[in-house]
Structure 1
Amino acid sequence: MSLPRVVVFGEALTDIVQTTPGHWRGYPGGAPWNVARTLSKLGIATGFGGAISEDSLGEEIAEQSIAAGLDMRFIQRVKADPLVAVVPSSAPPTYFFAGEADLRFSLDALPEGWLDEVEICHFSCISLAREPLASLLIRTAEQAKAAGKVISYDPNWRNLMTARYREETFPTLGKLASTIKLSDEDLKNLYPGYEEAQALQALRELNPEAQVLFTRGERGLTLYTAEGTHEQPALKVTVADTVGAGDASMAGWLGSGLLGITDLQQRLVFAAACASVSCSHAGAYSPTVAEVEALIAERGR
């Protein structure tokens, strides 16, 4: 069995959400896992490099990973409490994290030769703010970069990220990455006190050669490259919810290039369509190429 073209490193977790007072519901998620699952649904051979628990919560993540077609050789099952995000309120969002299964991830358990075959390594979210996993993944990114692999990075700011993350982790990954995806909210947290234009300029100076995919929700996407800027409006749909939309756009951007789309504007359209299809379904929905192409064709009329 051949090895995947993309490995997404980080956490998979269960969101435990209070839907109404006293009523809770669990949803498998985690930004890196969402990106991996969407890439696989788009037909890209993908591995999710992360550890999940052996209990029922981990089993649901494993089952959905299999259903999405992820390479299960990269997912590690461990005897540890499951990682959960407890969400007492969604509006405004309040949350905290518990569990440690994600922290048990080991590079030694990955398939032999994976680094020789992989084309893109993607890193994001709280996995880069939880030790000892964070240091392990930063070393992995450095090794992959040294081996000539493309590094993709989405900071995906969360409340457990500290000044150390802002001052050390973010610039380290930012300088390694060929692609940096971040939202307007991420930018505000990474560059507090900056106007948006100032923050974007500081980000561009951090790594002038990187492609920066900047997302603004319903206001669309902007791509910054060393050669210029490309704008893409959001593709309007009836929104069920926006959970996972940013992850879908990230996967759409990476996946479009691997699917052979070379024109940057067409890749932006594909990424925007991935986000919109995701928003038209409840939960962190992973679109297929057929769904994405159907939406593009419909909005192109």
Structure 2
Amino acid sequence: MQTTPTARLVVFGEALTDLIRTGENTWLSQAGGAGWNIARVAARLGLPTGFAGAISNDCFGDELYQQSIAAGLDLRFLQRSDKNPFLAIVHETHPPAYFFVGNDSADCDFKPEQLPSGWQDGVEIAHFGSLGLVREPLATQLLELAISLKQAGVKISYDPNWRKLMGPEYLARFEIMLGLADYVKLSDEDLVHLMPDTPVEIALNQVCIWAGQASILYTQGANGLQLIEEGRKQFVPANKVNVIDTVGAGDASMGGWLTSLLMQPQASSQDHARFAAASAAIACQYAGAFAPTLSEVQTLLKENT
């Protein structure tokens, strides 16, 4: 009897559906959500991964479920809820303009006590971030879970992934999560939104102080990324590819980074950062939040060696 490999990475947070306006009277629905995107990327790259979140029992939830199967996610961590779906209404795309629908929706109906028996025995990294740490009661549940897992010796990963719902009050939670995290991904856009009154270099130095000994992947889009460890910065340039759009590139870099850390423990920290950058570059070659395959990432890395 074939058994499901124990999830080495578990991603906590939101899954949602983007309703994107494509014309005056036409809309396109796309499964998404930062947490779910990161989990899907890692699973498609071959890392045993669970997405620990709740989705609705309707057509939107069904699409998320089917795409979770296609990506190879460990479905034992995925919960279904009779509550309404969580939707992001993207009414403008250039530049993006959006709002959320679902104040008491399925994502907030996640129940940690229903996680599979013994799940903590195999998990090596637990990831948190985005709206999962904003929307209550989910946010408080996940913060408590992150603290508990950290105390149990599980590595914590964190990507704030700024969204409009993160007001000034989120800064306190940002500091707490940085203090818990072993791995932090932060984009230049995130930093500007989270600390708008602080010059970027000063803000980044403050992040490093709050994050302590954590490894920080500071991404700057087409300008590449910086890997910051113990005060040392290593630069990794962006890969040159034909960019269709950058939707999901940050999630791809996060998923790629965590996958490399767990699947290539012998690799250098800069190699892990290169893998993250290549994962993001592959995602940029497709419309929407694309999850790259391992062969695609490896091929791009070889081309740029």
1:52 aligns with 2:55: yes
Note the alpha carbon deviations across 1:191-249, whole angstroms, 9 max, x for none.
11111110111101112201111001111110111151110000011011111000000
1:202 aligns with 2:206: yes
SS in structure 2 at match of 1:88:
strand
Give the letter aligned to residue 36 of structure 2.
W
Deviation at 1:282, TM superposition (A): 1.2
Residue matched to 1:15: 18
Residue matched to 1:226: 230
Deviation at 1:49, TM superposition (A): 0.3
Distance 2:188 2:121 in 1: 35
Residue matched to 1:123: 128
Contact 2:168 2:194 in 1 (8 A): no
1:6 aligns with 2:9: yes
Contact 2:179 2:212 in 1 (8 A): no
2:244 maps to which of 206, 229, 240: 240
Runs of 4+ in 1 over 3 A off after TM superposition: none
> CA 1:171–1:227 in 2, change beyond 3 Å: closer, same or farther?
closer
What's the % identity of the aligned pairs? 48
Distance 1:183 1:255 in 2: 19
Distance 2:254 2:215 in 1: 12
Distance 1:281 1:3 in 2: 30
1:178 maps to which of 171, 177, 182: 182
Note the alpha carbon deviations across 1:87-136, whole angstroms, 9 max, x for none.
11112221111121100000111101111221000011111110000000
Residue matched to 1:112: 117
More divergent stretch after superposition (46-55 vs 11-20): 11-20
Distance 1:13 1:207 in 2: 29
Distance 1:107 1:230 in 2: 38
Give the letter aligned to residue 73 of structure 2.
L
1:267 aligns with 2:272: yes
1:298 maps to which of 296, 300, 303: 303
1:256 maps to which of 260, 269, 294: 260
Distance 2:207 2:239 in 1: 27
Residue matched to 1:80: 83
Distance 2:73 2:106 in 1: 19
Distance 2:296 2:125 in 1: 24
Q: TM-score by structure 2 length?
A: 0.96
Q: TM-score by structure 1 length?
A: 0.97
RMSD (Å), alpha carbons: 1.0
Q: Can you give the 5+ residue segments of structure 2 that lack an aligned partner in the other structure?
A: none
Give the letter aligned to residue 224 of structure 2.
G
Distance 2:71 2:153 in 1: 28
Residue matched to 2:288: 283
Distance 2:245 2:32 in 1: 14
Distance 1:286 1:123 in 2: 19
Residue matched to 1:160: 165
Q: Can you give the 5+ residue segments of structure 1 that lack an aligned partner in the other structure?
A: none
Residue matched to 2:218: 214
SS in structure 1 at match of 2:91:
strand
Residue matched to 2:36: 33
Distance 2:124 2:271 in 1: 21
Distance 1:85 1:204 in 2: 32
Residue matched to 1:90: 93
Distance 1:175 1:48 in 2: 23
Distance 1:207 1:245 in 2: 23
Distance 2:139 2:38 in 1: 18
SS in structure 2 at match of 1:8:
strand
